[in-house]
Structure 1
Amino acid sequence: MNRVVELLAPVGSQEALIAAVESGADAVYLGGKAFGARAYAPNFGGEELAAAVKYAHLRGVLVYVTVNTLVDNSELAELAAYVRHLYHIGVDAVIVQDLGVARIIQEVAPGLPLHASTQMTVHNLEGVRFLAANGFTRVVLARELSLAEIQAICRQSSLEIEVFVHGALCVCYSGQCLMSSMIGGRSGNRGRCAQPCRLPYTLIDQQGQNVLQQADAGEYLLSPKDLNTLDVLPELIQAGVGSFKIEGRMKRPEYVAVVVDTYRRAVDRLTAGEQEYIVDEADQKDLAQIFNRDFTTAYLYGKQGRKMMSDRRPNNRGVRIGRVIQYNPGRKTAVIKLDETLNQGDMIEFWVKVGGRVTAHVSQMSADGCPVQGASPGMAVEVAVTAPVKVNDRVFKTFDAKLMTRARSFFSGAQTVHPLPVTATVEVAPGKPLSILLQDKDGFSGRAETGFIAEKALKRPLTREAIAKQIERLGTTIFVLQELGCHIEGEVMVPLSEINDARRRAVEELERARLQRFERPPLPETSRVFLPAANQRKKKDDGGRTELVVNVDHRDKVKAALENGADIIMFGGESFNHKPFLAEDYQAVLAMVRKHDKKIRFSTPRIVKEGQKSGLLADLALFNQLQPDAVSVGNLGTLQMVKEHCSLPLHGDYPLNIYNAVTVEFFRHQGLSSLTASPELNLAQVEQLLIPYHAVLECLVHGYLTLMISEYCAIGSFLGGLHTGRCTTPCLKGPYWLKDRKEEVFPVVTDQYCRMHILNAKELSMLAHLPRLMQMGVERVRIEGKKSTPQQVAKVTRLYKEVLEQGEEHPLFRQDKLDTVEPGNITRGHYFRGVL
């Protein structure tokens, strides 16, 4: 294997930056104080960011900055200024989620490379092709792909492909999760995820009973293990992956140092052509020791079911080092039979059968009654404990003092861990200045001369040794003297202070030469940015009418919606009854809609993996025959396929994350005639999107919204034996819910692709505020009816239709009886609170 692959490290602080660079990263990704998907990391201010770029570039390390959040209209001007700053300080690329953000970057900083964040949910070749056509240079693929799918994409991609190789996993497709947002107002799409996936849940049935009591399952049903691909690196390189990305901008610098160093050595062995690649067991132990929730290869070899989940513990579990063989309550000590080494200064944790965890700092320990500093596997050692433990309790090391010392050596010392060797050539002759030429291994050089003209020495002429002593003084720089060439003519004298000054200036010149390769041409003084004016907002014409869209997945629900006033039927995509949509379903629904003289919009799935594209193509061929009024898309890859294989009007659904007016404009230019706004927008933000000449805007107003869509299925994993390679489809035997620690219950449904959808515990209802949406100029409002029965669809559709027709003159408003028809357990979503 001689393919060069980039090792990309996470950086959340200055110490983590040093750790990443010194431990061998080829590139780092980090965030500023705004617009990054890890808002709770320390991150970098403006001057800090510039210094970080210079620090990395001097060492030949590239810097990518995360601008990977959804951006509000009010932030667009600040974003434009920030992007220009990134360009000027030499950032090598920006990582982007919001296509409106990408459009602004292309306008205000042309030439600044764009990387598509995993938040864009790119999971097939068409998604990559779409981004290639729109100016991106790299795509970070979704973490749900198999090795075969990654290989298929890499082999046909014109862009660089980046994949995650280590670190935390999201249980939901990145960019599609609304759970943190809807539960607590902290949006993952805005960089403030509260990680509800790491909280405890119970899987219950219709009677409210815990169905996993006999399944030997933990309570952290949405908490994946950590990704570890150290064993899989050869296959990933063979697949054609261009960049290996390590997750962890929220992690401490010691974690960055250990993980990057481990993967650096592995990648170097592979790219050097090592015949047999064998992972050192000690490296795997170090990776586990620095942080793990246990490890998994995620979906690289297919769905693993419960084997992928850390259902018993959502945080670091450390490394198991042995079991308790004796507890001494009088002395408050425990004797541990060791399977791994234990040293003074380590931290350990006892997994007590009853009562949770007991932690202990190993400040002292003894073996056979004698104090010891360290102990090896097989030994029995006695340590102090803070609470009772029991015989056979497992013991885990959560802090390894020696490993942490080694990790800190990468970033805590005054000297550079991996200095750059330089060759120095010094020339001096009477009547001439002394000159110093420094050259590094990359071919860059710096030269300086003394201001002093060499004179004939009267007492102590310059010697090679004296010159070497001054030139070697490079300790505060990134360089180390490897070789010195001295050319001294005659017996000359130059003051040592002059030599030191020339050396300093030669170093500065060498640094400038190393940095020059990263310089870009200056930007024009002004660049146009699309910033919608407040007075451009569209008001509803007197003769205008807000249309009612109803999204359903069954013919009976279509009938119910049509008979009760729906203007547009949305049908297809994912079913919430696990059954696929057949050609005769589309044909029958179209006939019903046409009979009622209404409109029909056929949906496409949110996720279409490589092996599922043939099914979508068959559906598109059918749609071309049936001629619905529009086809709805919710993913970039699907959009690319529909544009290539379908000639019908296009609708952009909310999974596209339509959050600002520039994104609206982007998709309008892509041929989308209507769009569903992000459900994370508040009313004021929605109003900002209602601008003349743009696509028709649609808002979700009722129903159970999907909070997560996942390749992992909790039902199949713990009840269906999914880890065995074949699921018994328990999801077909009845409805299930996830109950959280606050007794909220979230419906869980599976679609025809065996993907899990977690729905909101509360039903969205904007019936009481429908007149306001109408007055704002919202062209369409939508009911999500896939979770509802036909009877519920009929009732809700009729109510919304009546209010759309009568407005505040409806009896429910005049008699103040809205609370009699709205369900009790409802939410207004983000319309009145927005997100952080």
Structure 2
Amino acid sequence: MVELLAPAGSEDSLKAAVESGADAIYLAGNFFGARAYANNFDEDGLAKAIRFAHLRGVRIHVTVNTVVNDSEIPALRKYLRFLYEAGTDAILVQDLGVARLARETVPSLPLHASTQMTVHSLAGVLALQELGFERVVLSRELSLDEIRYICANCQVEIEVFMHGALCVCYSGQCLMSSMIGGRSGNRGRCAQPCRLPYTLVDETGQDVLEGAAGKYLLSPRDLNTIDLIPQLIDAGVSSLKIEGRMKRPEYVAAVVQTYRQAIDTCYKGTNYQVTQEERDTLAQIFNRDFTTAYLTGRPGKHMMSDRRPNNRGLLIGRVSVYDRDHRLVTIKLNGQLANGDQVDFWVKVGGRVTASVQDMTDEKGRPLQSGKAGDLVRFCVPMTVHEHDRVFKVYDGALMERTRKTFRSADPIRRIPVNAVVRAAIGKPLMLRLTDKEGHTGEALTHFIGEPARNRPLTEAIVRGQIERLGTSVYSLNTLTCSIEGSVMIPMSELNDVRRRAVEDLDEHRLAVYSRSEQKLPKIHTNMQPLPKKASRLMVSVETIEQMRAAIETGADGILFGGDSYHHQPITPNDYQKAWGIARETGIRIDFNLPRIIRDSHQKAIENLLVSCRENFEPDAIHVHNIGALSLVKNLTRLPIHADYSLIAYNLQTLEFLRDYGAAEATLSPELNIGQIRSLAANSPLPLTCIVHGKLELMVSEYCVIGSFLGGEGQNTCTHPCTKKSYALKDRKDALFPLVTDQFCHMHILNSKTLSMMPHVMEFESWGIHSLRIEAKAMNPDQIRRIVRAYQTAAAFPVEPDEAQKNWIQAQEGPEVTRGHYFRGVL
């Protein structure tokens, strides 16, 4: 049976999820979880949470899904050991270094690959399967057919999201929060820049939508798959996941209850139907409007909540009349409304008006506790609204009260039935045995030896009255078999005590199921690649032959060619071969870049390219951006592999993993600061590259704002307006973030400012950095010539340039530059 996996960002949410029917819970401790701002669990809280869940047959998965720096490794090692000893059922990880550390520290603790690992193909799943992962959480960009294909061709469990907030970027590939605000999503501190307002502008700065869309162009609707549950189960998915560790416990309860009912209905084999009440519950508790994302197609703009980035509630009617003198509004209802609810009026002028529903009456002024569809109701509103304004219920008092019972009740709601056997006789202690449906037993004997009764002999009714008082335990009495020999007396206090001890014994037997024995995970099969034949002090990343020639003319030591096109053009094997020929003629290093995202539908073309490289034009290295591509190159070629920055080399453990797995070089994460870079370089098992110049990619997205709002994507075949003009997103501070679309129609958002480390380029060699890279795909040939020439010149300056040299560098850089995280790092 498919697992219903629920979030818990607090103790109340944990209880709400368990009592509402979750099979498993994912949560975090105070550190190393991708929701650092949730009300997470300390160690005592975690241990209690695990015991609470395990007694009820619910598994606990702990998120350790952030990248970590080297200073945190000792604490992480200790934390992993604690999680193992506390009985955690699995940990979710993003950082390959964390996975390596977990294998060494707690080898029998199951590993799950977080969606932050950006696994979006069968190749990625199989690579992690070989590494000993037991489960992979797929990227949310996959279709049902792709999920089905992956499930049918792997042995690991596959987990997919079924409800909750969506990231507009491929999870694990977003730098926008850290580059704009210094809060890294990869470190669990995403500031959600995707929920902020943006304007889509062309190269002239003109707003090209002009009111045809809202301002929240990067804000997705919430995922809702309630209608697709049968298809997801049929696809072979092992676990269906609800997003929401930042949500309140009432949300957790309502969503878990609704999906519990849906999943159970599927397995009953009856006709699967979703009731309107279930739909309304999901919408009422929280929604930004709903979408099924990419599960059944490419929805384009219909996936976006561009008018409002937060909860919109449930539409329950429109304003019929507004009495300005008395501030009374009359609403024609098309849904339920009651005193204690809260509503938002979407007014024609002025945005939103919020009101609590109090002292509601009908149209004749008679008091009402509630109204239903078709009723006219009246109540006071503090601000002006208008006729025909839409009314959304954003708080349902009855729903909230109902869901709160799941975590505020002193007694358990979701109880485990037990069968009790009692034997009593004169001269013997009374025996009580409790047995649950799985066959676990708890047994206890009274300390008191049965005596002949003088007044009230023990009866089955008396026994039942005491044994069924299971109170705050997780059990309820199902059947009682009572054997009493003779007229025996047992004190009530003894009956209560034997019940308590039998319950404790049953608890321990149920918990014993979760104990684990040590085991060894599969070894990593190393495939050590040779180092590239040519070193490169200054590598320039390009996508066209013209860009390549410009870089070579002005002194580039190496070229990184291809990968994602910034001009929506395919980069063919002939293009790669031509670039290879030019590099060989000029005697410089040539590396080939692979796309950041390689879906199964695109993999064959990549495989053909790799075979051609192997047989006809071998580059000095192949750059890969995810574990699937790394495995692919390793298995198809003997070429040196360069682990690029998307693989997030942030600590020595990750670098050591990459070395063991076969990488020959690595590019460090752009989120590292100088101190961290110097420390890594001093101890790295691999030659390292740093990106020093260019427009850094902040997001890569399956969603394209240009095609969705200008090209008809989601309705018809996209007309590719991206090939006719250049576009950017302008934020509320008038910063412009260029948009580029690659050959696979992925949208890449570039930083508004150009990264430049030109004033410090002469220092990197002393830090131990092997190669510096200029990201030049967004530049024209003239810009490339100027920047490469400037870097070669600046590299010859002393570590402390004189005033004239500093002024020269500043003139070469231009005004709109950033030092990225080199001097500030990330939270």
1:334 is matched with which residue? Answer: 329
Amino acid at match of 2:589: K
Amino acid at match of 1:730: P
- For structure 1, list consecutive stretches of 5 or more residues without a partner in the other structure: 525-543
Question: Displacement of 1:201 after TM fit?
Answer: 0.2
1:532 is matched with which residue? Answer: none
Question: Displacement of 1:587 after TM fit?
Answer: 2.0
Residue 17 of structure 1 is aligned with which of 10, 14, 25?
Answer: 14
Judge conservation of contact 1:322–1:336 (CA < 8 Å) in 2. Answer: yes
Amino acid at match of 1:701: V
Query: Partners of 1:88 and 1:218 in 2: how far apart?
Result: 50
Query: Partners of 1:7 and 1:691 in 2: how far apart?
Result: 46
Amino acid at match of 1:313: R
Q: Secondary structure at the match of 1:747?
A: strand
Query: Partners of 1:736 and 1:370 in 2: how far apart?
Result: 58
1:361 is matched with which residue? Answer: 356
Does residue 161 (structure 1) correspond to residue 161 (structure 2)? The answer is no
Residue 125 of structure 2 is aligned with which of 123, 128, 133?
Answer: 128
Judge conservation of contact 1:98–1:663 (CA < 8 Å) in 2. Answer: yes
Residue 59 of structure 1 is aligned with which of 49, 56, 60?
Answer: 56
Deviations 1:549-598 (A, max 9, x none): 10011111100100111111001110101101122221221122112110
Residue 417 of structure 1 is aligned with which of 413, 429, 440?
Answer: 413
Query: Partners of 2:471 and 2:788 in 1: how far apart?
Result: 75
Judge conservation of contact 1:802–1:810 (CA < 8 Å) in 2. Answer: no
Question: Displacement of 1:805 after TM fit?
Answer: 3.7
1:598 is matched with which residue? Answer: 588
After superposition, the Cα gap between the structure-2 partners of 1:65 and 1:323, relative to the gap in structure 1 and judged at 3 Å, is same
2:603 is matched with which residue? Answer: 613
TM-score normalised over the length of structure 1: 0.96
Q: Secondary structure at the match of 1:370?
A: coil
After superposition, the Cα gap between the structure-2 partners of 1:19 and 1:318, relative to the gap in structure 1 and judged at 3 Å, is same
Question: Displacement of 1:626 after TM fit?
Answer: 0.5
Does residue 827 (structure 1) correspond to residue 780 (structure 2)? The answer is no
Does residue 226 (structure 1) correspond to residue 222 (structure 2)? The answer is yes
2:498 is matched with which residue? Answer: 502
Query: Partners of 1:790 and 1:800 in 2: how far apart?
Result: 15
Q: Secondary structure at the match of 2:161?
A: strand
Question: Displacement of 1:688 after TM fit?
Answer: 1.8
Judge conservation of contact 1:546–1:774 (CA < 8 Å) in 2. Answer: no
Judge conservation of contact 1:546–1:778 (CA < 8 Å) in 2. Answer: no
1:537 is matched with which residue? Answer: none
1:533 is matched with which residue? Answer: none
1:172 is matched with which residue? Answer: 169
Query: Partners of 2:492 and 2:800 in 1: how far apart?
Result: 93
2:67 is matched with which residue? Answer: 70
- For structure 2, list consecutive stretches of 5 or more residues without a partner in the other structure: 521-533
2:526 is matched with which residue? Answer: none
Residue correspondences, number? 812
2:794 is matched with which residue? Answer: 803
Deviations 1:225-253 (A, max 9, x none): 00000100111111100000000000000
Does residue 474 (structure 1) correspond to residue 464 (structure 2)? The answer is no
Question: Displacement of 1:610 after TM fit?
Answer: 1.2
Does residue 108 (structure 1) correspond to residue 98 (structure 2)? The answer is no
Deviations 1:316-366 (A, max 9, x none): 000000100101011111110111111111100000011000000001111
After the TM superposition, which residues 398-797 of structure 1 pair with which residues of structure 2 at under 5 Å, given as runs?
Answer: 398-521=394-517, 547-624=537-614, 625-691=616-682, 694-797=685-788
Amino acid at match of 2:544: H
Query: Partners of 1:794 and 1:807 in 2: how far apart?
Result: 23
1:539 is matched with which residue? Answer: none
Question: Displacement of 1:301 after TM fit?
Answer: 1.1
Question: Displacement of 1:804 after TM fit?
Answer: 2.5
2:301 is matched with which residue? Answer: 306
Judge conservation of contact 1:71–1:659 (CA < 8 Å) in 2. Answer: yes
Does residue 281 (structure 1) correspond to residue 276 (structure 2)? The answer is yes
Query: Partners of 2:484 and 2:661 in 1: how far apart?
Result: 70
Q: Secondary structure at the match of 1:700?
A: strand
Query: Partners of 1:736 and 1:53 in 2: how far apart?
Result: 50
Judge conservation of contact 1:88–1:522 (CA < 8 Å) in 2. Answer: no
Question: Displacement of 1:817 after TM fit?
Answer: 3.2
Residue 143 of structure 2 is aligned with which of 121, 143, 146?
Answer: 146
After superposition, the Cα gap between the structure-2 partners of 1:587 and 1:502, relative to the gap in structure 1 and judged at 3 Å, is same
Amino acid at match of 1:511: D
Judge conservation of contact 1:93–1:113 (CA < 8 Å) in 2. Answer: yes
Amino acid at match of 2:299: Q
The worse-fitting range, judged by mean Cα deviation, of 238-247 and 584-593 is: 584-593
Judge conservation of contact 2:689–2:769 (CA < 8 Å) in 1. Answer: yes
Question: Displacement of 1:770 after TM fit?
Answer: 1.3
Query: Partners of 1:693 and 1:280 in 2: how far apart?
Result: 58
After superposition, the Cα gap between the structure-2 partners of 1:127 and 1:522, relative to the gap in structure 1 and judged at 3 Å, is closer
Using the aligned pairs only, state the percent identity. 53
The worse-fitting range, judged by mean Cα deviation, of 826-835 and 613-622 is: 613-622
Query: Partners of 1:761 and 1:46 in 2: how far apart?
Result: 42
Query: Partners of 1:398 and 1:754 in 2: how far apart?
Result: 37
2:530 is matched with which residue? Answer: none
Deviations 1:634-656 (A, max 9, x none): 01111111112122111111011
The worse-fitting range, judged by mean Cα deviation, of 515-524 and 160-169 is: 515-524
Q: Alpha carbon RMSD of aligned pairs, Å?
A: 1.4
Query: Partners of 2:2 and 2:660 in 1: how far apart?
Result: 36
Deviations 1:282-331 (A, max 9, x none): 10110000000000000011211001000000000000001001010111
Query: 4+ runs of 1 displaced by more than 3 Å?
Result: 521-524, 805-817
After superposition, the Cα gap between the structure-2 partners of 1:639 and 1:265, relative to the gap in structure 1 and judged at 3 Å, is same
Judge conservation of contact 2:139–2:171 (CA < 8 Å) in 1. Answer: yes
Judge conservation of contact 1:19–1:253 (CA < 8 Å) in 2. Answer: yes
Judge conservation of contact 1:83–1:105 (CA < 8 Å) in 2. Answer: yes
Question: Displacement of 1:386 after TM fit?
Answer: 1.3
Amino acid at match of 2:537: E
Question: Displacement of 1:424 after TM fit?
Answer: 1.1
Query: Partners of 1:591 and 1:226 in 2: how far apart?
Result: 49
